A and B are shown apart, each in its own frame.
Chain A
Amino acid sequence: MSEKTVIIKIDGIEIKAKAGQTIMQAADEAGVYIPRLCYLKDLTPHGSCRVCTVKVNGRYQTACTEPAVDGMEVENKTQELEGLRRDIIDMLFVEGNHFCMFCEKSGNCDLQAEAYRLGICAPKFPYLFPDRDIDGTHPDIFIDRNRCILCGRCVNASRDVDGKTVFEFVGRGSEKKVAVNADAKLGDTNMALTDKAADVCPVGAIIKKRIGFAIPVGKRTYDQKPIGSEIESKS
Chain B
Amino acid sequence: MSDSLQKKIQEICQSSNNDRARMMDIVQSVQKEFGCVSSEAMNLIAKATKSHHVEVESVVSFYSFLSKEQKGKTVIRLCNDTVDRMKGCQEVAKALSSELGVKFGETTSDGKITLEYTPCIGMCDQAPAALINDVVAPNLTAEKVKEIVKNLKKGVDPSKLSLGKGDGNNTDSLIGAAVRNNVLKVGDVIFADNDSGKGLENALALKPEEVIDMIKVAKLRGRGGAGFPTGLKWQFTRSARGEQKFVICNADEGEPGTFKDRVLLTEKFDLLFEGMTIAGYAIGASTGIIYVRGEYAYLLKFLKSKLKERYDQRLLGKNIKGKSGFNFDIRIQMGSGAYICGEESALISSCEGLRGDPKTRPPFPAQRGYLASPTSVNNVETICSVTRILEKGSDWFLSIGSTNSSGTKILSISGYCKRPGVYEYPFGISITDLLNDVGAEDAKAVLVGGPSGQFIGKNEFSRIICYNDLGTGGSIVIFGPKCDLLKAVDEYMEFFVEESCGYCTPCRAGNILLKKKLEEILEGNGESADLDYLQSLGEGIKKTSRCGLGQTSPNPILTTLKNFKPLYEALMKPQEKGMQPTFDIRAALGDAEKAQMRKSVLYKN
Report A's interface with B, CB cutoff 8 A: 45, 47-51, 53, 60, 62, 65-67, 83-84, 87-88, 91-92, 94-95, 125-126, 128, 149-150, 165-176, 179-183
Contacts and interface: CB of A to CB of B under 8 A. Distances in A.
A14 to B, nearest CB: 23
Interface in B494-520: 497-506, 508-510, 512-513, 516
A88 B512 CA distance: 13
Interface stretch (B56-64, B209-217, B449-457): B56-64
A88 B502 CA distance: 14
Given A50-B545, A84-B543, A172 B53 contact: no
B355 A169 contact: yes
Given A165-B52, A183-B39, A176 B502 contact: yes
B315 to A, nearest CB: 39
A183 B497 contact: no
Given A50-B544, A88-B544, A165 B513 contact: no
A172 B546 contact: no
A45 B360 CA distance: 9
B91 interface: no
Contact of A88 (B43, B58, B355, B506): B506
Contacts, number: 124
Interface string B525-566: 000000000000100100111100000000000000000000
Given A45-B360, A53-B544, A95 B58 contact: no
A49 B505 contact: yes
B491 interface: no
B2 to A, nearest CB: 16
Given A53-B543, A126-B513, A173-B502, A95 B508 contact: yes
A168 B498 CA distance: 20
B54 interface: yes
Contacts of B53: 181-183
B513 A168 contact: no
A84 B544 contact: yes
Given A45-B360, A126-B516, A128-B509, A172 B338 contact: yes
B322 interface: no
A60 B544 contact: yes
Contacts of A67: 362
A27 B57 CA distance: 38
Given A47-B360, A165-B54, A172 B544 contact: no
Contacts of A179: 54, 57-58
Contacts of A173: 497-502, 508
26 contacts: A45-B360, A47-B546, A50-B546, A51-B505, A60-B543, A60-B544, A84-B543, A84-B544, A87-B506, A87-B510, A88-B544, A91-B505, A94-B509, A95-B508, A95-B509, A95-B512, A168-B55, A170-B62, A171-B62, A172-B338, A173-B497, A174-B497, A175-B61, A179-B54, A179-B58, A183-B53
B497 A87 contact: no
Contacts of B544: 50, 53, 60, 84, 88
Most buried by B among A47, A50, A94, A169: A50
Contacts of A172: 61-62, 338, 340, 355-356, 500-502
B61 A50 contact: no
A176 B544 CA distance: 19
Interface string B472-511: 0000000000000000000000000111111111101110
B57 A168 contact: yes
A170 B61 CA distance: 6
A84 B540 contact: yes
Nearest to A80: B543
B53 to A, nearest CB: 5
A87 B55 contact: no
Contacts of A45: 360
Contacts of A95: 505, 508-509, 512
Contacts of B362: 65-67
Contacts of A150: 502-503, 505, 508
Nearest to B499: A173
A181 B513 contact: no
A154 to B, nearest CB: 12
A166 B506 CA distance: 27
A91 B505 CA distance: 7
A222 B500 CA distance: 34
B171 to A, nearest CB: 37
Contacts of A167: 54
Interface in B48-88: 52-55, 57-58, 61-62
Contacts of B546: 47-48, 50, 62
Contacts of A49: 504-505
A114 to B, nearest CB: 12
Contacts of B340: 172
Given A170-B61, A172-B356, A173-B498, 18 more contacts: A47-B360, A51-B505, A87-B510, A91-B506, A91-B510, A91-B513, A165-B52, A165-B55, A166-B54, A168-B54, A169-B355, A172-B338, A174-B500, A174-B508, A176-B501, A179-B54, A183-B43, A183-B53
B319 to A, nearest CB: 41
Nearest to B68: A170
B40 to A, nearest CB: 8
Contact of B508 (A51, A62, A176, A180): A176
Nearest to B498: A173
Nearest to A184: B39
Contacts of B503: 48, 150, 176
A48 B55 CA distance: 19
A170 B360 contact: no
Nearest to B516: A126
A65 B54 CA distance: 26
